[in-house]
Amino acid sequence: MARWVFTCKNCFEIVPHTEIGGTLMDYFFPTKPKVPTEGQELECPQCKTKYVYQQNELRYERN
């Protein structure tokens, strides 16, 4: 699986944004999901801190 993630600004753990679907095109040529210009608030699964994240903070992770 691959996914788009943010990095928690508090504990630097991964904050998942979007799981990437099953096609090979998705896997090798991922398109960045849209994040609203005002940002998107997400809660860190590790430390439970909420931050507003921006599009340019998204990164792609293959695992």
Nearest to 42 by CA among 17, 12, 62, 10: 17
Minimum CB separation of residue 14 from Zn ion in Å reads 9
The answer to the question of residue 1 lying near Zn ion (CB under 5 A) is no
Q: In angstroms, what is the minimal distance from the CB of 21 to Zn ion?
A: 26
* CB 46, min distance to Zn ion, A: 5
Which of 7, 10, 18, 40 touches Zn ion (CB under 5 A)? 10
